[in-house]
Structure 1
Amino acid sequence: MKRNRGRRLVLDPVRESLISSSGAVLVRQTVRVAGLDRELSAALSPWRAARASHDPGKVLLDVATAVALGGDCAADIAVVRAQPELFGPVASDPTVSRLITTLAADVDTALPAIRAARAQARAVVWGRRRPLAGTPGSRNGGQVIVDLDATLSTAHSDKEHAAPTFKKTFGFAPMCAFVDHGEHGTGETLAVDLRPGNASPFNSADHITCLDAALAQLPSSERGQVLVRADAGGGSKALLHHITDLGLEYSIGFPAHGPVQAAIAAIPDDAWIDAINAINAINADGEPRDDAQVADLTPWMPAPTTPTRSPARFGPQHWPDGMRVIARRERPHPGAQLRLTDRNGWRITCFATNTPTNTPTNTPISTPISTPISTTGPGWTVDVLELRHRLRARCEDRIRGLKDTGMRNLPFHSYAQNQIWLEIVALAADLLTWTQTLAWHTHEPARRWEPKRLRLRILTVAGRLIHSGRRRRLRLPRDWPWNHLIDTGWATLHAT
């Protein structure tokens, strides 16, 4: 047996002036660049006590910083408090608890105040470096894609309004809205609305409320070119009419029942075209996807029946004008169970959109097109529209990132306090995303890292604090593989 020649490690009782979260200097600089500290301080000033020594905005920002560093409860602010050289004076746990209780007591006023501060900071960040490709204010490449989706958050005790969920768990069902940054970025959390666990994923009122909150988070100049994406849970007449009335576009999952089944039975086989995998600079037409085809079902959809219920009482009873229904069929993977909506061994999924196609690639010449052909947009053919809708799956990555940033388990018993906590979670997620947006250029892989990887490689690296020449210097480990990212990010944030 070979002996281990490594030197024996001994814990030295001597302590040094070290910073355990050296990479968080990028987050702190992002706060200053975005002006988030000033905005939160002004927004929460009505809740500051006369003799308070800690500003409520600073307290909330410190809690959000702790969550961004990996904390999952208010007590984890101790990590920030232990590093005053980096984060300044930090409030005690009782002070944090009193502030969250105070804000929860006036939650209907406090939530809009916090959201307004986030919106102002977001406008500053987008003004310095827009995280999306294309031309701002234009739907031709500059489109802002807002993804809506509901998720589940487990409660391990009987918290207020926690309830059994449709997946046989117990907890809450928040509704989330995100901005998709595309292939060269991650995404921003626009809104997280807390809901009881028994809330329906098909509730149109909840989708509309979350969408309106999300649109209010966008800079005013960016709200006119929004595309709203959602799964079949958002496929309601009320939501689609709401989006249409706002003058926006949508790409929403559509149930493959009734009229869709009739259209699929009537559509000829030559109307199906190959789905595509991706569109890039090398292959502008996209690579065909094996065993997957798409078709525009709109010309073959049967005429809608006359509604019998009152629109004034039950909401819109017809689908909005200009809606197209696009279907995708593919062979299920081995072992997958077929569904009632599958046909001839093909798995059928559909979505609805009001984006007109440029060329009717899959429609017979003799068949009229129900929607006028548009000459704008980056090649909106049926297969490209289907690919655009399929990329909605990146929303699941954003939800996973939120659950890694404090949303996995809501820490308070009170429903209102957990609402405040979700705003802190959204704030922490924004801090991470804005840091990635401002610190690194578009093609840098660090722009796409999820929170766990960003913390492991950048934020939680230890450093030594040196006082020299009336200045404080933070020295990083000599052989840390990602030192260049911290150096580049620091220089870029100071240059913006």
Structure 2
Amino acid sequence: MKVNRVGGLVLDPARESLVSSAGGLLLRQTIRLSGVRRALSVALDPWRGRRVRHGPGKIVCDLATAVALGGDCLADVSVVRAQPGLFGPVASDPTISRLVSTLAGDVDAVLPAIRSARAQARCAVWKRRRPLAGRAGSRDGGQVIIDLDSTLVTAHSDKERACATHKRGFGFAPMCAFVDHGQYGTGESLVLQLRPGNASPWNKQDHVQALDLALAQLPEGERAQVLVRADSGACSKAFLHHITDLGLEYSIGFPAHETVKAAMEAIPPQAWRPAVDGDGQPREGAQVAELTRWMPDPTPATRPGPQQWPAGMRVIARRERPHPGAQLRLTDQDGWRITCFATNTHGPGWTLDTLEVRHRQRARCEDRIRAQKDTGMRNLPFHGYAHNQIWLEIAALAADLLAWTQTLAWDTHQPARRWEPKRLRLRILAVAGRIIHSGRRRRLRLPRNWPFNHLIDNAWKSLQPS
């Protein structure tokens, strides 16, 4: 019978010189390669106090590092401060709190400054290793896909501009924009635009503003071949005209209104084609068809703005038998679940089933939102609205640090490049280590039997300056 040695384990009052977030070394290296700290220091220099030891750029990077490691409030920066051998000296809590209040007092000028620094760092990362497959500006995987969506963030106390939401909750409704890295990666947070809880998910001006901010985050050479993807909340004539005027493509959910019902009744049965899944295999019980030819003219609108849909718009429908137990909808026809989307994509190779699969992959945006809520967006820690806007910029930077680290550290065939933040922290960032001094150098030693040492070793080699 073997003796269980773990059962007799007791806490020794003696302490060792260890670091508990040794994997954060990769985040620190990503900050260096991207130049984000330097860019933030330049952008936030107007808000630097006299005779300060810690500049605003350094403090914002430290906060983003703490959030990337799993923190969700300013006090969690203590985890970074407790490891100066790994992260360097960190400002005190009162200093950080004063800086956030200072930035919030001039939020209209601070937000563009932080976003400009993030865009510069993103350009440096993409120049070193482009996170998308294919060539920039091409359609063979090189197309940049921006996913737009709004989400709800619950407020558990009475915070400034927190309101009742359309889902009977209470809090905020930020508008989000992400870059989809496709099947070989995760995604990047381009825009987290804070809005009151009663903001409409169908507000066309909010979608226009979010798209413009998202495009400004992309490297200039990547903005010519962009696909905008969103659900039916973004399907307004004004927004689709805005996308068309920019020369971009779109794939937007189209609500099944009376015009769609009329087209469904007029379309011949032979117009339906088998749908496919993400692997290109036939999807049982699902069919696709283009409704554009049978769509009646829209009724004249009484609201200001464009009265017609943009030229070249196609409406594609997908019908599928609801799974057992699914609740039927009023828009279901003869037992078929009907969903539609609008797109202006034409050309060879873009068959109906291919376009439909591309639009259905918009579901990855829900993964990005879940990951962002695991990285600072689940809890808006301040009472002030402007303070929470600053916090969302820090959370977006933290999510970018994680995505940039995965992009630069691992090749597309390695699963770690697709891990969500929770798994990345558990397996890579949270590993403990020991800092030793040898040969006039400081070295970080990891546990001998840690099962993910090979991923950390590969990442460190990839993150070395070329």
**TM-score tier after normalising by the smaller chain length:** over 0.9
Question: Which of 322, 329, 338 lines up with 1:332 in the alignment?
Answer: 322
Q: Is the 8 A contact 2:44 2:110 kept in 1?
A: yes
- Secondary structure at 1:183 match in 2: helix
Residues in 2 aligned to 1:33 and 1:5: alpha-carbon distance in whole angstroms: 44
- Amino acid of the structure 2 residue aligned with 1:347: R
Residues in 1 aligned to 2:380 and 2:291: alpha-carbon distance in whole angstroms: 43
Which residue pairs with 2:38 in the alignment? 38
Which residue pairs with 2:103 in the alignment? 103
Residues in 1 aligned to 2:295 and 2:250: alpha-carbon distance in whole angstroms: 19
Q: Does 1:290 align with 2:284?
A: yes
Residues in 1 aligned to 2:153 and 2:334: alpha-carbon distance in whole angstroms: 38
- Amino acid of the structure 2 residue aligned with 1:452: K
- Secondary structure at 1:208 match in 2: helix
Residues in 1 aligned to 2:351 and 2:7: alpha-carbon distance in whole angstroms: 65
Q: Does 1:225 align with 2:215?
A: no
Could you tell which deviates more after superposition, 100-109 or 134-143?
A: 134-143
Shift of the alpha carbon at 1:139? 3.3
Shift of the alpha carbon at 1:7? 5.3
1:364-403 to 2 correspondences below 5 Å: 374-375=347-348, 379-403=349-373
C-alpha distance after superposition, 1:240-263 (max 9, x if no partner): 000000000000000111111000
Q: Does 1:418 align with 2:408?
A: no
Which residue pairs with 2:83 in the alignment? 83
Residues in 2 aligned to 1:238 and 1:148: alpha-carbon distance in whole angstroms: 16
Residues in 2 aligned to 1:276 and 1:326: alpha-carbon distance in whole angstroms: 14
Which residue pairs with 1:299 in the alignment? 293
C-alpha distance after superposition, 1:245-284 (max 9, x if no partner): 00000000001111110000111111111110124xxxxx
Which residue pairs with 1:207 in the alignment? 207
Residues in 1 aligned to 2:74 and 2:5: alpha-carbon distance in whole angstroms: 44
Structure 1 runs (4+) deviating above 4 angstroms are: 1-7
- Secondary structure at 1:224 match in 2: coil
Q: What is the TM-score of this pair, normalised by structure 2?
A: 0.98
1:93-242 to 2 correspondences below 5 Å: 93-242=93-242
In 2 relative to 1, CA 308–269 (structure 1 residues): closer, same or farther, beyond 3 Å? closer
Shift of the alpha carbon at 1:342? 0.6
Residues in 1 aligned to 2:6 and 2:164: alpha-carbon distance in whole angstroms: 54
Question: Which of 288, 303, 307 lines up with 1:317 in the alignment?
Answer: 307
Which residue pairs with 1:362 in the alignment? none
Shift of the alpha carbon at 1:4? 4.9
Which residue pairs with 1:350 in the alignment? 340
- Secondary structure at 2:367 match in 1: helix
Aligned CA-pair RMSD: 1.3
- Secondary structure at 1:122 match in 2: helix
What is the aligned length? 466
Which residue pairs with 1:365 in the alignment? none
- Amino acid of the structure 2 residue aligned with 1:421: W
Which residue pairs with 2:460 in the alignment? 490
Long gaps (5+) in structure 2: none
Q: What is the TM-score of this pair, normalised by structure 1?
A: 0.92
Which residue pairs with 2:409 in the alignment? 439
- Secondary structure at 2:408 match in 1: helix
C-alpha distance after superposition, 1:322-374 (max 9, x if no partner): 00000000011111111111100001000000001xxxxxxxxxxxxxxxxx2
- Amino acid of the structure 1 residue aligned with 2:174: P
Q: Is the 8 A contact 2:432 2:447 kept in 1?
A: yes
- Secondary structure at 2:274 match in 1: strand
Q: Is the 8 A contact 2:285 2:320 kept in 1?
A: yes
- Secondary structure at 2:443 match in 1: strand
Q: Is the 8 A contact 2:237 2:306 kept in 1?
A: yes
Shift of the alpha carbon at 1:108? 0.3
- Amino acid of the structure 1 residue aligned with 2:324: P
Which residue pairs with 2:10 in the alignment? 10
C-alpha distance after superposition, 1:182-202 (max 9, x if no partner): 001000000000000010100
C-alpha distance after superposition, 1:7-58 (max 9, x if no partner): 5112111111111100011110000001111101111110001111111100
Which residue pairs with 1:261 in the alignment? 261
Residues in 2 aligned to 1:11 and 1:142: alpha-carbon distance in whole angstroms: 54
In 2 relative to 1, CA 447–351 (structure 1 residues): closer, same or farther, beyond 3 Å? same
Q: Sequence identity of aligned pairs in percent?
A: 73
Which residue pairs with 1:452 in the alignment? 422
Long gaps (5+) in structure 1: 280-285, 357-373
C-alpha distance after superposition, 1:202-255 (max 9, x if no partner): 001101111110000000000010000000100111110000000000000001
Shift of the alpha carbon at 1:5? 5.7
Question: Which of 468, 474, 488 lines up with 2:444 in the alignment?
Answer: 474
Shift of the alpha carbon at 1:309? 3.6
- Amino acid of the structure 2 residue aligned with 1:437: T
Residues in 2 aligned to 1:395 and 1:146: alpha-carbon distance in whole angstroms: 9
Shift of the alpha carbon at 1:150? 0.4
